[in-house]
């Protein structure tokens, strides 16, 4: 029993090292057989779980969305889930002179260092800004566990807010992602900015 356990651990270590050192070849082993690294066919999506009111103390609305099987005890599903936490907060500010009756929407994107070496402890991107691998989050959000989802898993979260806009765009840094999500939400007309106004010309 012990020798088998150690052998399994050894194989997992070798696979992890191979994936880290040769990511293209690692993925190629699966794509050449028309499957993903977690065994799913290309056309099959991961299960989606949505937990609402996740941050009740610190926000006015929040949700945690998990893409994939989050059962870490199953060695076949380890690393196969992506978790995104989104929250909405409200701040009172002064409306712009050209839109005295309008409020505004701002977007902040951050990611846990567990999501990749590009992100620092504050959730901002620190290196490798040219990499196209990102998690898309809507509102003020944090990717707390990136299990390999690139674009096809996290984009539906912004789609739900933006009303199904074009999802083929791939921003190249977190600032561009924030700007893209902000423009998408505004152009979707999902939120009426006049409903965010409090007192014309004074507060919104």
Confidence of residue 65 (pLDDT cuts 50, 70, 90): very high
Q: How confident is the model at residue 51 (pLDDT cuts 50, 70, 90)?
A: very high
Give the number of other Cβ atoms within 10 Å of residue 165's Cβ. 17
Alpha carbon distance 146, 82 (integer Å)? 4
The domains of the chain are located at 1-33, 41-196
pLDDT of residue 166: 45
Token pair belonging to 125: 């991107």
Of all residues in the chain, what percent carry a pLDDT higher than 70? 61
Q: Could you tell me if 110 and 138 are in contact, meaning their C-beta atoms sit under 8 angstroms apart?
A: no
pLDDT tens, position by position, 122-169: 666 664 444 444 343 344 444 444 444 444 333 444 444 444 444 444
In whole angstroms, what is the distance from residue 48 CA to residue 81 CA? 10
**Entry pTM:** 0.55
pLDDT at 134: 38
What HEC string does the chain produce? CHHHHHHHHHHHHHHHHHHHHCHHHHHHHHHCCCECCCCCECCCCCCEEEEECCCCCCCCEEEEEEECCCCCCCCCCCCCCEEEEEEECCCCCCCCCCCCCCCCCCCEEEECHHHCCCECCCCCECCCCCCCCCCCCCCEEEEEECCCCCCCCCHHHHHHHHCCCCCCCCCCCHHHHHHHHHHHHHHHCCCCHHHHCCECCCEC
């Amino acid at each position: 029993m012990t020798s088998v356990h150690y052998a399994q651990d050894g194989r997992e270590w070798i696979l992890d090292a191979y994936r880290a050192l040769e990511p293209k070849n690692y993925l190629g082993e699966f794509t050449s057989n028309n499957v993903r690294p977690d065994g799913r066919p290309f056309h099959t999506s991961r299960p989606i779980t949505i937990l609402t009111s996740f941050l009740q103390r610190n926000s006015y609305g929040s949700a945690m969305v998990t893409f994939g099987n989050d059962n870490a005890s199953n060695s076949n599903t380890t690393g196969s889930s992506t978790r995104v936490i989104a929250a909405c907060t409200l701040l009172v500010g002064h409306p712009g002179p050209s839109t005295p009756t309008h409020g505004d929407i701002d977007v902040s994107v951050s990611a846990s260092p567990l999501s990749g070496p590009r992100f620092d402890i504050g959730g901002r991107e620190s290196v490798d800004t040219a990499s196209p691998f990102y998690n898309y989050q809507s509102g003020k959000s944090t990717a707390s566990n990136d299990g390999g989802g690139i674009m096809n898993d996290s984009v539906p979260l912004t789609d739900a807010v933006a009303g199904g806009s074009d999802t083929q765009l791939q921003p190249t840094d977190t600032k561009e992602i924030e700007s893209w999500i902000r423009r998408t939400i505004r152009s979707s007309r999902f939120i009426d900015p006049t409903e965010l106004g409090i007192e014309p010309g004074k507060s919104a």
